[in-house]
A and B are shown apart, each in its own frame.
Chain A
Amino acid sequence: MLDLDMGKYGFFVWTSYSAVVLGLAGLIVVTLRANAKHKAALKALQDGSGHDTTGLDT
């Protein structure tokens, strides 16, 4: 049976879980965005378009 009522410890428990969600979600988003950016930049360079819109040139 699921018990989500943390009583007087609610602040400590939910803040802890929120920190994990924020940290993990942040890492996943940053990692996936960087991966997509690097793939696009390399592809643009290999295609010889010379137009890098990913900002990796800087």
Chain B
Amino acid sequence: MINFLANPERFTRVTAPLRPWLVGLGLALMAWGLYLCFASPEDYQQGDTVRIMYIHVPFAYLSMALYAAIGIASFFGLIFRHALADAAAKAIAPVGAVFTVIALLTGSLWGKPMWGTWWEWDGRMTSVLVLLLFYIGYIAIHNAIEDEQRAARSAAILALVGLINLPIIKFSVEWWNTLHQGASVFRADGPTIAPAMLWPLFVMIAATHILTAWLILVRIDSEILARKYRALRARLSYN
């Protein structure tokens, strides 16, 4: 499958018809999810701040998932030199960085009324901040190095090094005594959230992930177009 889609032309041909469906489904789910967010009951301890969870959790998941995607694409780009791998990783990075900022910001806005502080240097928050720094580093390398292949190689190495941070983020709440609560959705013994709050959360997770898939497909398409443009321009100036 990866080999099949590694061809940029084929990738565009296969994914272009999917894009309108993804954006339509994503927006419809987002509208439904937002309705559920404000129609669900308030938490008996957290009051209305629990509604921040419906956006904080999906974007926190996405910030990690997108970095994992960059890591996998970087691996294929570095080892197998897939034409599309670096384009995909480069297209994903700014989205991941913005989503990490959203996760940090909404976490801080949720933390202040609940914990009494905007920020604490605990395991979870610090490791997510480190994730943001990896995203910024990845983007900076691509912008700083003019030679496209050298930039891709250097950025890919950084991305692979940064993968070590993902399990640290995931297990930080178990390894250290953190202010951040432990996992409450994806647990071996099932979610600990009431169904009335779990459903809006699941709908928002689905909506944000589908919209992100659409956004990334459009960004990869842009990256393919930009590379085609540069290649054609180089060929024309050579002739």
A residues adjacent to B (C-beta < 8 A): 1-4, 6-10, 12-13, 15-17, 19-20, 23-24, 26-28, 31-32, 34-35, 38-39, 41-42, 45-46, 56-57
Contact = CB atoms under 8 A, between A and B. Distances in A.
Contacts of B94: 27
Given A20-B59, A27-B98, 15 more contacts: A1-B39, A2-B35, A3-B39, A8-B47, A13-B49, A16-B56, A19-B102, A19-B109, A20-B102, A23-B98, A27-B95, A27-B215, A31-B219, A34-B219, A45-B233
From DSSP, what is the main secondary structure of chain A's interface residues?
Answer: helix
A7 to B, nearest CB: 6
Nearest to A35: B222
10 contacts: A2-B39, A3-B38, A4-B38, A9-B113, A17-B55, A27-B98, A31-B215, A32-B218, A35-B222, A42-B232
Contacts of A6: 48, 51
Interface magnitude class on chain B? 35 or more
Contacts of B52: 12-13, 16
B225 A15 contact: no
A31 B222 contact: yes
Contacts of A15: 109
A31 B218 CA distance: 7
From DSSP, what is the main secondary structure of chain B's interface residues?
Answer: helix
B118 to A, nearest CB: 11
A54 B3 CA distance: 33
B106 interface: yes
A45 to B, nearest CB: 5
A20 B222 contact: no
Contacts of B47: 7-9
